[in-house]
Structure 1
């Protein structure tokens, strides 16, 4: 919202300088986005008169002029505009002027002729949008006077960021009220008279509101014999200050009052209103209207202002071209109305129309102020366009506005504010803001907001009003006297945070994805559980709450591969969702994804691709660091994973997770073809009950360890993990068993594999002798032969 300082001073006394006023506006909630000082680029710009005029000798489209600017000698200026003539009063930028856009005026030579300045257009001066020719001033413009002084371009324009709940501040009077309340001054409302002629029955306009839900009040008045012409200078200055171009005196008058009161106004050519009838109704399906901007709209149900035959405007949004004011218009009908904001928002969005009127109507206007605004705009049009004001205004107001009463607990407010403010000070602030004090005591009050403050509905709103006018800077910083204790994280959140820290430390990078995925994922991932569909998805590809993190991780892998990233090691920790009896069941899952190979280095010229065992290492390290050690790995039957390169993580009979290479069919569906992808997904909600952070400490064993390496040949179908688990239980002397090689190929029978394991043996109470060691090894070999049909590799 643009606010003119000179215009604002007409409604409230302002003694403060621009900087202080900027601070005051910001402190009371009307944030200043920018400040523009008019005329700051108009140094060395004066009024001149063309005293010699002729064609440029070396260019047909240029003229050679001499311009009197009130100095000893006229300036010789070459000009390319088509509209200037001998004797015209023009605006001249002298040598040394710096125009908007950092255009520096210097002595120059144009087609061989010297030029000592420039005759300017509106665009070049930054005072308008007309670039078709230079500005021609009235004959009485004083030669030699600064144009800035002549045009009264000494204004300061504030650009304010008005919040949606304060539509009353989209006007000069609204901001004047704020400033007056802050400084404790009076608002000077406009004074005007309306001189009505006797009403003629033939001049009556019949007004009917059919849609009383979307139009709460509609007022209008007829004026005859007006003269549509250019606006006076004072009005054009105000319209330009608001960033608009003047149109004519009728349109400019309505815009002026809109910026004054925040009440959009529309005028119609009375001769184009069929049967002198105005109906506020819903548009019939298929009805058409050409807007003032020239766009043809096909309507269906929108609120329109119509005559007895056709729509004339989109109510509260934009007028129609056919019923608009033209230079030939003699009789007009002036409309001031109140439309429900919700309807204006929906209509503007549906039709794709934005306008100053729509911007204000969709935020809400003052329904009680409609008659005053109508009289105000009528008086201005009467002043600048003459004509006759025919009879009394018509005002259709079916349901009257009801003011609300808001109770205010002053004692409670003092505790909230943190300061012992006097009840009379509270009353003074609220009264200055235009609120009515129905009652006031030391502890309680009853407050009635005015009709233009429909944002005030509860006591909390009054708190804000009092504090911002009292001044935040006047409230001392005092620590509350409270017994404050730090809270603790809920166990699921703590585990999530701990998991993120662990996975980051072991070399994985976190990704964050939406919790919404495409409903087709249910078939892609063979999901059998009941899923949760979203009734109003923001996109078709985000219509289901994800029951698994695998799809998101695979999507991340695919997109990184498509961008030539060849080393992908990522994780995500988030909630997944599935249907429960009444509410959704939300479990926390951890997912890990790896794909590609290590980056090439001088020592690693042919980096090896990531494989199942690398992912297994990440999973096992995570399980150990998170405190879940009592688990085993079993070959999985999960259809999303490769049947021979994946495993379930089981604790007892509970599957808490699965990891491995994704199934080739799934890889093909996900378009992951460059590299093999490996994914793990762990249900942290299930796992947390098996997590233990209790540590058992033992004395350092002083007796030495003994290691023995064995290479055994097993059938390909034997699960090495099961064998190692059984071997560990065979003797108390076995401290650890580690798998360090699996070999298939030459010298190994087809369908077999060579497995190399390293056993660490130790006696905690004495030194192992050769006999003890041999007994353990014999027992191990016996289990390998009898239970797993294995043989020592020769």
Structure 2
């Protein structure tokens, strides 16, 4: 929002300098983003008069002039412009002036004759496009006065960042209210009295009907006759230019002026162009078209709120008027509209049409519904003055939904506690009154505040706290710690688990990745997920259309992107939530842990040929993670998940409950994911379910002082026997067995084709004494019988 200091002074007395005013505006919540001091480049540019006129002795097209700038000594100036004569009042850039473009005026010689300044054109001063001749001023232009002062080009423009909850500050009166409230001054609202004629507006001049009462809550209008549309006066054009607008004509410029003055959009219709003199506020018909004031034809297909006459649309309500009824130089009578349209409707329509304006910007944020009739009178008076028009007696005012005042209680003791300041009730009352808030005392500690209609952001006690504090001044509140016992917060149990899981995985040498919780519908098809998923109603993009039911796709995407960038030895993990739909339409959230590996182990000086990571590398990470998480009782079964390679993947189960799957991804999935250079291995564990099986207590076992005994067995088994289950059974068969591990698997010519030889190392130890040979033999025999009976195995000969 741009604010001209010169214009602002019309509504409130401002004695402060620019820096102090900037600080004040910022501290009361109207942040100053930038300040432009206009006319800086026009210093030492003054008004002069040509007192002597002659030709340059060495150049026919140049003139040699004497120019009086109100000082004792006249200036000798050489000029090349063709449009000046003796006695003209002109604009003189004196020696030392620095014009736009860093053009410095110096004493110089032109064709051998000294020149002590320069007569200026609009282009040279950066004020226009006319560079054919110098500026010729009226005869009454004051001699010696700076040109920027004479043309009021020495204004200061503040650029303010107005927050969305304060649409009332998108106007000069709104900002003036804020300054007046802070300094305890009075607002100088414009006085007006239109030139009215006896004829009433209700005598058939215009008929207004509101069909869409949900989106148009108030519609006010006046008729002005016998107007003369022409160029606006200089003061009005300067005001609009300071706001970055291009002047059009006196009627349109007046409505724009009132928009910035009062924060109320208006629109003027050529009354003769309104069919049957009927104004209808309705929703658009499907396929209805309108050419808006920007010259673009727009098709309306979504029931947009429009202003129409008996035959056609005249404008898109609250956003932009139409070409068909615009005010031109031929216009002699107008219908002036001032309305209230609901913010939600304007936001939606503006977005759908891709059309925004100063009016829609304000309607979107919510305006003062109580103010339309008063603003209409002010605008009619201004247009009447500018055009010589006559305003018909009365006003059409269709007020559908009346504004209801709200009362907000304010307890002074609670306010003091909140502020940390013993503020007096009289000071609070004065601050609220200065802000236009009506107050009444309920008792010695409580008052009732009633905000004005233009402060729609004030709805609760906390809002009043904010108003009081910002007007009291943040600098007036000392830094003071609250006198309350503040206990440190306690982490949520699941947060503790997540932090623990992340710490374990990071210490295992994995790198954490953080992905979005959304994936594409194509990803769901690629993973072959047939269960219901949670789709986003209005996704940011097609790649973020579904809440992910698994972490696998995200991690594989990370693997692919890193491999494509020549990164190797990838070791990723992610701990996050996955989502599935509930019957009530909400999300069921489950915590998962996922690991992804690809590429080779890291090269070292003593190991220059790193090996590729494989299923067993991943298995090691998974087993260590489970161990550190306190889950030790589980079994591995061959996985049948279609996303994993058959025979190179396993499900992790505790009893009949599956808590995760890990292994090499299926070649088809790798191809679909465009992972070509390396094999990728992924694990995904249900952390929420896994927590139910953690060891609640960690038991300490004293180190056994008795020696261990190792026995190695080579057992011949059928090729399809899963050795992992056999190892578990062996471990459980005797309390003397400390550990069981495979150290070799052989398949080849020396055994049958459908067999394999598995070499097992068994560590035996007695906790309360040294093992006897008989104990060892009994245990080994028991193991061999178990293998023979349950797995059809025998000792390799």
Counterpart of 2:453 (choices 432, 451, 454) is 451
SS at match of 1:489: coil
- Residue 294 of structure 1 and its aligned partner are, at CA, apart by 0.8
- Residue 91 of structure 1 and its aligned partner are, at CA, apart by 5.7
The residue number in structure 1 matching 2:678 is 675
- Residue 456 of structure 1 and its aligned partner are, at CA, apart by 2.2
Q: Does 1:586 align with 2:584?
A: no
The residue number in structure 2 matching 1:399 is 400
The residue number in structure 2 matching 1:151 is 151
CA distance 1:586–1:103, change in 2 (3 Å): farther
- Residue 666 of structure 1 and its aligned partner are, at CA, apart by 2.6
CA distance 1:146–1:770, change in 2 (3 Å): farther
Moved more, 778-787 or 717-726: 778-787
CA distance 1:393–1:201, change in 2 (3 Å): closer
Is the contact made by 2:573 and 2:594 (CA closer than 8 Å) also made in structure 1? yes
- Residue 784 of structure 1 and its aligned partner are, at CA, apart by 5.9
Is the contact made by 1:405 and 1:446 (CA closer than 8 Å) also made in structure 2? no
User: 1:227-266 CA distances to partner (integer Å, 9 max, x unpaired)?
Assistant: 4333333222221221223333332222222111111122
CA distance 1:381–1:489, change in 2 (3 Å): same
Q: Distance in 2 between matches of 1:389 and 1:368?
A: 25
Counterpart of 2:624 (choices 621, 625, 631) is 621
- Residue 613 of structure 1 and its aligned partner are, at CA, apart by 0.9
The residue number in structure 2 matching 1:237 is 238
The residue number in structure 1 matching 2:649 is 646
Moved more, 448-457 or 764-773: 764-773
CA distance 1:280–1:527, change in 2 (3 Å): closer
The residue number in structure 1 matching 2:633 is 630
Please, what TM-score do these two structures have when normalized by structure 2?
0.87
The residue number in structure 1 matching 2:697 is 694
Listed as ranges, the matches of 1:181-192 within 5 Å are: 181-192=181-192
Moved more, 70-79 or 434-443: 70-79
Q: Does 1:28 align with 2:31?
A: no
- Residue 182 of structure 1 and its aligned partner are, at CA, apart by 1.3
Q: Distance in 2 between matches of 1:710 and 1:674?
A: 39
The residue number in structure 1 matching 2:216 is 215
- Residue 507 of structure 1 and its aligned partner are, at CA, apart by 1.9
Listed as ranges, the matches of 1:129-528 within 5 Å are: 130=129, 136=135, 138-140=137-139, 141=141, 145-199=145-199, 205-211=205-211, 212-300=213-301, 301-385=303-387, 387-399=388-400, 401-410=402-411, 411-527=413-529
Is the contact made by 2:201 and 2:394 (CA closer than 8 Å) also made in structure 1? no
SS at match of 1:199: strand
Equivalenced residues, count: 783
Q: Distance in 1 between matches of 2:480 and 2:410?
A: 22
Is the contact made by 1:90 and 1:134 (CA closer than 8 Å) also made in structure 2? no
SS at match of 1:354: coil
The residue number in structure 1 matching 2:547 is 545
**Contiguous gaps of at least 5 residues in structure 1:** none
Is the contact made by 2:711 and 2:763 (CA closer than 8 Å) also made in structure 1? yes
SS at match of 1:322: helix
CA distance 1:530–1:290, change in 2 (3 Å): closer
Q: RMSD between aligned alpha carbons?
A: 3.9
Q: Distance in 2 between matches of 1:691 and 1:202?
A: 83
Listed as ranges, the matches of 1:561-580 within 5 Å are: 561-580=563-582
Is the contact made by 2:78 and 2:118 (CA closer than 8 Å) also made in structure 1? no
SS at match of 2:192: coil
- Residue 374 of structure 1 and its aligned partner are, at CA, apart by 2.3
Please, what TM-score do these two structures have when normalized by structure 1?
0.87
Q: Distance in 2 between matches of 1:243 and 1:450?
A: 30
Moved more, 564-573 or 773-782: 773-782
Q: Distance in 2 between matches of 1:297 and 1:185?
A: 48
CA distance 1:85–1:716, change in 2 (3 Å): farther
- Residue 171 of structure 1 and its aligned partner are, at CA, apart by 0.6
SS at match of 2:325: coil
Q: Does 1:6 align with 2:12?
A: no
- Residue 349 of structure 1 and its aligned partner are, at CA, apart by 1.7
The residue number in structure 2 matching 1:724 is 727
- Residue 447 of structure 1 and its aligned partner are, at CA, apart by 2.5
- Residue 516 of structure 1 and its aligned partner are, at CA, apart by 3.2
**Contiguous gaps of at least 5 residues in structure 2:** none
User: 1:386-423 CA distances to partner (integer Å, 9 max, x unpaired)?
Assistant: x2313214222333633313141414444444444333
Is the contact made by 1:171 and 1:261 (CA closer than 8 Å) also made in structure 2? yes
Q: Distance in 2 between matches of 1:753 and 1:280?
A: 87
User: 1:516-542 CA distances to partner (integer Å, 9 max, x unpaired)?
Assistant: 334455554344544444445444554
Is the contact made by 2:380 and 2:391 (CA closer than 8 Å) also made in structure 1? no
Q: Distance in 2 between matches of 1:498 and 1:613?
A: 24
CA distance 1:349–1:623, change in 2 (3 Å): same
Is the contact made by 1:77 and 1:117 (CA closer than 8 Å) also made in structure 2? no
User: 1:304-323 CA distances to partner (integer Å, 9 max, x unpaired)?
Assistant: 33333322222221122232
Q: Distance in 2 between matches of 1:653 and 1:198?
A: 94
Q: Distance in 1 between matches of 2:135 and 2:223?
A: 36
- Residue 432 of structure 1 and its aligned partner are, at CA, apart by 1.1
Is the contact made by 1:742 and 1:753 (CA closer than 8 Å) also made in structure 2? yes
Q: Distance in 2 between matches of 1:66 and 1:281?
A: 69
Counterpart of 1:85 (choices 83, 86, 103) is 83
Moved more, 571-580 or 724-733: 724-733
Q: Distance in 1 between matches of 2:5 and 2:234?
A: 17
Q: Distance in 1 between matches of 2:662 and 2:623?
A: 11
CA distance 1:247–1:146, change in 2 (3 Å): same
Q: Distance in 1 between matches of 2:310 and 2:530?
A: 62
CA distance 1:96–1:709, change in 2 (3 Å): farther
- Residue 178 of structure 1 and its aligned partner are, at CA, apart by 1.0
Is the contact made by 1:53 and 1:86 (CA closer than 8 Å) also made in structure 2? no
- Residue 504 of structure 1 and its aligned partner are, at CA, apart by 1.8
